[in-house]
Amino acid sequence: MGWFWGNANQDPVKKLDPGLREYLEQEAPKKKYVPSTSVPSAHGPSKPVDSQAHPSKQPAATEDNENSKPSVPSASLYPDGRYAHLWKTYEPPSDYGVEVQGASRVIEKYKSRNDTVHRAAMENCALEHEDLTLCFQNGNLQKRLMSRMTMCAEQNGKFSRCFTTQAKFLKALGYAGSFEWDEEREERIQMHADTLYHEMLNYEKQVEEARAAGQEPPPLTSLFNPQENPQERKADRTPGSLEIPGGEAIPSGFKPSKPLEELTPHERELEIRSHYAQLDQQKIYAQEASPFMKSQDDARQKRREKAVGWLGETVGKWVT
């Protein structure tokens, strides 16, 4: 059975405009049009070509497909080979230098420690914070207006002192100072800081009661070293010197948050202990980042040697 119109051997696009024909060929670049030279069979589809009849053609096509596929790196997230050229240069974090990891840990620890200490101090001052909140909310209208006018000065002062002092106690005791977090250890330090703070408040209350009764105030003992004999320390004091529990000497270059004359004896001891704890923490940071610092010093020394060799000793040292 032939075609319903025309000749089957005639090219159907032969009579098209050359410009239109060129446009159609550009729109289908993968498979160029080839005129048909055989008449379609009316008895059904032609028999497929047996792959075994041409054994030399099939392996060649398989090899071409394998060669066209890019090699997939083991770290790639795309098994189909996408972005293989980018994954070739990928290095997992475990392959980085130890010195870089140490410097990153120090920076991260330095940034997060203050937040961790402040959260613990806030937990220890939960009752003071609750009293401050209730001061603004409870009472009749007149009392609430008065609280807003005074900004709850009494409750606000208690909470501010609790939060600031508890944070200093936590730092002085080494809270969140280690790079390895130990839940039990940090919890013991947090509870100990809260205990020391309330011992300080109890002593101040006893001093006020003794002065109101015209009696001698109780002996001053150290919060951090309660086994010390306060009588021996009192005998060693020079006239006019500040009283600091524990016999702590004022370190050189020490800059307290307030003048020591304006602080209570226990607050002076706490300021000095916090200063020493900060120095110890800086040593821990320096020890952790020492490989990174050493690598930086070695690289700087190499650059200096090259610069001295090129530009002379004076200019080379000045440049580097």
DSSP structure string for the chain = ---SSS-TTS-TTTTS-HHHHHHHHHH--SS------SPPPTTSSPPPPPGGGSTTHHHHHHHHHHHHSPPPPTT-S-TT-TTHHHHTT---GGGS-HHHHHHHHHHHHHHHHHHHHHHHHHHHTHHHHHHHHHHHHSS-HHHHHHHHHHTTHHHHHHHHHHHHHHHHHHHHTTTT-SSS--HHHHHHHHHHHHHHHHHHHHHHHHHHHHHHTT-PPPPP--SS-TTS-HHHHHHTPPTTPPP-GGGPPPPTT---SS-GGGS-HHHHHHHHHHHHHHHHHHHHHHHHTHHHHHHHHHHHHHHHHHHHHHH-HHHHHHH-
Rg of the chain, C-alpha, whole Å:
42
> How far apart are alpha carbons 87 and 23 in whole angstroms?
40
Residues with Cβ within 8 Å of residue 35, at least 6 apart in sequence: 11, 14
User: Which one, of 117, 126, 122, 151, lies nearest residue 136 by Cα?
Assistant: 151
Q: Tell me which residues of the chain have a pLDDT lower than 70.
A: 1-14, 28-70, 75, 91-102, 229-240, 293, 316, 320
Q: What is the pLDDT of residue 264?
A: 93
> How far apart are alpha carbons 118 and 314 in whole angstroms?
50
pLDDT digits (tens, 9 = 90+) for 156-205: 999 999 999 999 999 999 999 988 889 999 999 999 999 999 999 999 99
pLDDT digits (tens, 9 = 90+) for 204-228: 999 999 999 999 999 999 999 888 7
pLDDT digits (tens, 9 = 90+) for 285-299: 888 777 776 777 777
Average pLDDT of the chain? 78
User: Which one, of 261, 258, 262, 231, lies nearest residue 247 by Cα?
Assistant: 231
Q: What is the pLDDT of residue 124?
A: 97
